[in-house]
Amino acid sequence: MSPETYEKAAVLMRYPLAVAGLFIALRALYMTVKDGYRAGKLRQGELRYGAVAMLTVVPADKRGKAQKLPVGRNGCIGSSTRSDVRIKGMGLKSRHFDYEIRSSQMHISPVAADDLSLLGKRAGEEIRGTLVLSPGDKLLAGKAVISFQMLKLPKSSTSPMNSKVYSAKGKRE
């Protein structure tokens, strides 16, 4: 190719290449924004797939990273992969305690936990056997302060899963 021909080709290609660069940047921007909305919708979608409450986990020393975890009607909370709700790095045992949500209250049965205590308004309350938490109550387990809030189910839920009732062992009744 002669230098003059190359020069004409390069000058012509300026526009498609600039457009390509803009397309790449703008497409990436579109994906970033859309995935941000997706994350929000995922939270709403969780309601349709069995989430009934949102667990808030805050490190007791208030200098760590708080987490919000959607949870189902029952399960086990601990630090290992054998738990249903895995909370890492906050001093929990591998299977710390079982929970079950009934009538907007969380019933807690310690599995390996021997360090559960209540904070806030119910601080100092003695814990014997099963503990019943209401939304907003704070439980200290290991080095994590755990509280929960009930999620509002959509009025017309078509998901058959919302009508299922699970026993404490995760089996459908």
Between CA 68 and CA 81 the distance in angstroms is 18
Which DSSP symbol is given to 166?
Answer: B
- Quick one: which of 53, 55, 83, 97 contacts other proteins (CB under 8 A)? 83
Provide the minimum distance between the beta carbon of 6 and other proteins in the complex, in angstroms, as a whole number.
6
Calculate Rg over the CA atoms of the chain: 25
Between CA 31 and CA 37 the distance in angstroms is 10
Cβ-based nearer residue to other proteins, 94 or 117: 94
Binding flag, residue 27, other proteins (CB under 8 A): yes
- Quick one: which of 54, 69, 111, 150 contacts other proteins (CB under 8 A)? 69
| Distance of alpha carbon 34 from the chain centroid | 19
168 contacts 74 by C-beta, under 8 angstroms: yes
- Contact residues for other proteins (CB under 8 A)? 1-3, 6-7, 9-11, 13-18, 20-32, 34-36, 38-39, 41-42, 45-46, 48-51, 61, 63-65, 67, 69-72, 74-76, 80-86, 88-89, 158-161, 166, 170
